Amino acid sequence: MSANPAGGATRGCVAILTAAGSGTRLGAEQPKALVELRGESLVVHAARRLADSGCVERIIVTHPEGEAERFAAILDSSRVPIELVPGGATRQSSVAAALARIDDDVDVVLVHDAARALAPPELVRRVYEAVRQGRRAVVPGLPVSDTIKRVAVDGAGEGPVVATVDRATLRAIQTPQGFDRALLARAHEAGAARAAQEGDAATDDAGLVEALGEEVWVVTGKEEARKITVPADLLLAEALLSRP
């Protein structure tokens, strides 16, 4: 237990690190989180940066079914305890499985994607501190630089432009996302019927909170927290690591 900025006592913070995705779009014949960047798996990069933030007391890593031994062999739990949990059919179901392992004495939960392996410790702290300051759901985001158009798409994903969206108010949302644990648990309980099928499941946990009508607060994200999805993203991540 530690002190909050106002001087009172705070409770614990646990991070859920989702790493159960396949490496198909990355062109890998293994789980995406085990793909290496500069000799270390993406999940190792992500877990280290969570631990380096200084605000995470435990990390729960969701992994593909049958891969517990491979994940356990590479993850270092010497600084922050790490627990492995088999993931589900969707990201939402994986987070729900991890959330069920968190006791009520934890009041802040961070949900992070191993695919955003280079999200820096300072971003983790920024999200955490915003939750501690009273924002019950917090996401990092960056301004959108592309022109965005709403399109009436057909089955092939093509169609006429309906409108050009004002990008000044748009943000590309990243992780880690931070939550009051009780609120996140309530959001997952309310949205549980969506979790089984990929087409229905929430793409992030903030979406489940929004569905409750609760406020989600956006803080400034970081370029390093970009998602690694296709091979070109690995090259960009390598370039980010090479910056002075």
The verdict on residue 160 lying in a domain is no
Q: d(Cα 50, Cα 54) in Å, to the nearest integer?
A: 8
Indicate the pLDDT class of residue 99, thresholds 50, 70 and 90.
very high
Q: d(Cα 177, Cα 99) in Å, to the nearest integer?
A: 14
CB 223 within 8 A of CB 142: yes
The verdict on residue 149 lying in a domain is no
Indicate the pLDDT class of residue 9, thresholds 50, 70 and 90.
low
pLDDT, tens digit (0-9, with 9 covering 90-100), for 176-231 = 999 999 999 999 999 999 998 888 999 999 999 999 999 999 999 999 999 999 99
- pLDDT for 7 beyond 70: no
Q: What percent of the chain has pLDDT over 90?
A: 88
The verdict on residue 106 lying in a domain is yes
CATH value at residue 27: 3.90.550.10
CB 137 within 8 A of CB 178: yes
The verdict on residue 7 lying in a domain is no
- Residue 54's domain comprises 12-140+171-238
pTM over 0.85: yes
What is the pLDDT of the chain when averaged over all its residues?
A: 94
Q: d(Cα 207, Cα 220) in Å, to the nearest integer?
A: 18
The verdict on residue 55 lying in a domain is yes
Q: d(Cα 83, Cα 8) in Å, to the nearest integer?
A: 29
pLDDT, tens digit (0-9, with 9 covering 90-100), for 129-162 = 999 999 999 999 999 999 999 999 998 889 999 9
pLDDT, tens digit (0-9, with 9 covering 90-100), for 76-90 = 999 999 999 999 999
The verdict on residue 161 lying in a domain is no
